[in-house]
Structure 1
Amino acid sequence: MIARNLRKRFGAERVSFLFVDLIGQRLVRLTPAVEGDAVEHAEPVGLRGSVYDIVLQSQRQHVEPDGQGGQRVITPVTNRGDCIGVLEVTLQYADDTVLRQVGEAAHALAYIIVTDRRFTDLYHLGRRTTKTSLAAEIQHQLLPSASCCEAAQFTLAAGLIPADDIGGDTYDYTLDRDTLHLSITDAMGHDTDSALLATLLVGALRGARRSGCDAALQAHHAHQALLNHSRGLATGQLLCVDLETGMCRLVNAGHPWPLRLRDGIVEEVKLAVNLPFGVSAPTAYRVQELPLRPGTG
């Protein structure tokens, strides 16, 4: 639909969408089917050091001669900070008005993809440029639908490495009116059993969070879920960030200290550490306060 629209409005000669694969090392070029051809064509493209890499990192449109008298226009396809891919178009003429409208088309494409990928596996299929383990498959289904999120007060980015062979590691987040909720957890082990443990853990945390529980009660529910089902242990950090004041209230359950980037210096934040979730011992999870300020990472 987007390709047809660009051809009709601007006489675009070549239109393709390139999206980032599961492990973040390649792009997969999707070229719309042309008349007389029933299928779309997928082509893997190297990402690192390419012009596409520059566009994704800078989030700026790139224009260059195509070597045949036209203009090659590469535009980021992004939704609220979630870098989905790039839209590549070849045009014979591209002034500022045309470039702005191509940018608007790329923005519309991002919304279309975010909506459509809830109902089809085609995007998931296209992103699989390597074989994925069963544990990794389970883990990825536990993650939020977008690995990045932006608002006026913050930018959040997360990922699992290596993305094709993981087990036990998860992250989750949600954005309320005035609070950012974030969890980082690591279930014991690195196989399918740890992925199943992570499923129980994330389910308990989400259930508590969606019931209006604060970080302390979320930790309690997660701890009890692991105890009640005798599934093992997990470490984690649960954070609730007040977007008006910048105050972060958090619980550390046996997890490594976080790193903070401030004024160009990276340092560990030496928090009090509670026992991991699922430890069969009297446990009270302590909520700690960590003030955040603009520019902190």
Structure 2
Amino acid sequence: MRGPEDLVIDVGALLEKVENAAPIAAVEAVAGALREMVAARSAALLIADFSGHSVVRLTSAGPVSGARTHDGEQAETLPLEGTPYDRVIRTQRVHVEELGDGARVLAPVTDRGDAIGVLELVLPGYPSADDVADIGSAAHALAYVVIAARRHTDVFEWGQRSTPFALAAEIQRRLLPASYTCEAGQFTLAGWLEPAGSVGGDTFDYTLERNALHLSITDAVGHQVEAALLATLLVGSLRNGRRRGLDLAAQAAYANDSLADNCLPGQFVTGQLLDLDLRTGAARVVNAGHTLPLRLRDGHVEEIDLRVEPPFGVLPGKSFQVQPFPLEPGDRIVFLTDGMLERNAATLDVAAALADSADLHPREVVHELGGAVLRATGHDLKDDATMVCLDWYGGPQRDRST
């Protein structure tokens, strides 16, 4: 039962405020409505930046010392490590801390496991359990607001860029999925890309159909714009083939010939394409010259032995073998590019790091691996380091979304 002192948050009213606001003002509209509903002293969204190591508070209010500015917008970058923001993003749980004359509430802004950021409210009193649940629901609704609004404005994208992107990175960014994490009942997956100083042409991609998951990880030869353009052609051909209804073998052949027909000799892309049937749990893979994936099963890590075929673009007209991919409920699979294994990352034992990850969410696994390769290379990556973690639960479809 709610008492008279309890907060009342009307999610429907929040969304109505959004509908009446311009896309660029959508988050401010939600923050303003929340301040009114709960008499909050302040309400703000802190969005996760692209480095994975910071959150960014976006505001167009009074000047903020040290913030980046652009056309009246401000982005204040706050390091994550060791902070309550980090704990909220990792655990996906609401955090409440008592202040001298009130309380601060941090709630995860998340959609299907994709950690978009944190909703921060400063309240005049300590919230009840019902209040905390309502704030959590409002934060979840805010995730949809951000997803919808950022289609129409660059403000969120600008805010997430603590470091300016070079042209090659801009091209590469457009090749990655809109969400790096997906919780979908029978599986959870998460991807991450640690870009080298000179972008190395890595990509990962996935799409979910009613009865199938399609996943790819690729690595274009070369660096900078040349590699990014090569990756663009490869990813574009894979998506085009998939959306035309081609099966896995035909997608691989189409991508291979697209490269061979449009690129110079010596330009190629390694990659793995995976199809997973969600009805049967059967998985199939094409391996075009790519680094072998790792599997964590029953506490043991091993490389999955796959036949290695030539990279895409090397042999015009080639047919690729579709291989069965061994997968059992409870498996954790990590697909990776050779940037994870480059010479100046030799001190990184990826298998040992994966073995230590059993209790982590896939989103945390890829962030931990990304951070580990950065530490191993002294933050001087010579090649992109990309990884995708897939947890397969099996069984009937069920809702595990956050």
TM-score in same-fold range (> 0.5): yes
Q: Look up the SS of the partner of 2:146 in the other structure.
A: helix
What runs of 5+ residues in structure 1 fail to find an aligned partner? Answer: none
Distance in 1 separating the partners of 2:129 and 2:329: 33
What is the aligned partner in structure 2 of residue 19 from structure 1? 47
Bigger shift: residues 236-245 or 163-172: 163-172
Alignment equivalent of 1:3, drawn from 28, 31, 37: 31
CA distance 1:191–1:31, shift in 2 (3 Å): closer
- Alpha-carbon distance between aligned partners in 1 of 2:314 and 2:190, rounded to the nearest angstrom: 30
Which residue pairs with 1:145 in the alignment? 178
Other structure's SS at 1:159 match: strand
Q: Separation in 1 of the partners of 2:157 and 2:74? A: 16
Contact 1:15-1:32 at 8 Å conserved across structures: no
Q: Which of these residues, 233, 251, 260, is aligned with residue 218 of structure 1?
A: 251
Q: Secondary structure at the match of 1:138?
A: helix
SS in 2 for 1:292: coil
Aligned to 1:276: 311
The residue type paired with residue 293 of structure 1 is E
Is the partner of 2:192 in helix, strand or coil?
A: coil
Q: 1:165 to 1:119 in 2, by over 3 A?
A: farther
Aligned pair partner of 2:115 in 83, 89, 111: 83
Structure 1 vs Structure 2: percent identity of aligned residues?
A: 52
Structure 2: unaligned runs, 5 residues or longer: 1-28, 63-70, 333-402
Do the aligned partners of 2:106 and 2:118 also contact (CA within 8 Å) in 1? Answer: yes
Large movers: runs of 4+ above 6 Å: none
Go from structure 1 to structure 2 and tell me whether the alpha carbon gap of 1:164 and 1:25 turns closer, same or farther (over 3 Å shift).
Answer: farther
After TM superposition, the structure 1 = structure 2 runs for residues 196-207 of structure 1, keeping only pairs within 5 Å, are 196-207=229-240
Q: Which amino acid aligns with 1:88?
A: E
Q: Distance in 2 between matches of 1:17 and 1:243?
A: 36
Tell me the matched-pair count: 293
Q: Is the 8 A contact 1:136 1:163 kept in 2?
A: no
Match of 1:160, SS state, is strand
1:92 aligned residue (116, 124, 136): 124
* Alignment match of 2:289 (pick from 254, 258, 272): 254
Instruction: Tell me, yes or no, if structure 1 residue 115 matches structure 2 residue 148.
Output: yes
Aligned to 1:239: 274
Aligned partners of 1:179 and 1:240 also within 8 Å: yes
Contact 2:257 2:316 in 1 (8 A): no
Classify the secondary structure of the residue corresponding to 2:214: strand
CA RMSD in angstroms comes to 1.7
SS at match of 2:168: helix
Contact residue 23 and residue 164 of structure 1 kept, 8 A: no
Indicate the structure whose relative CO is greater, using CA pairs within 8 Å and at least 6 residues apart. 2
Give the distance between the partners of 1:78 and 1:103, measured in 2 at CA. 10
Deviations 1:102-138 (A, max 9, x none): 1111011100111111111111110111122211110
CA distance in 2, matches of 1:274, 1:163: 26
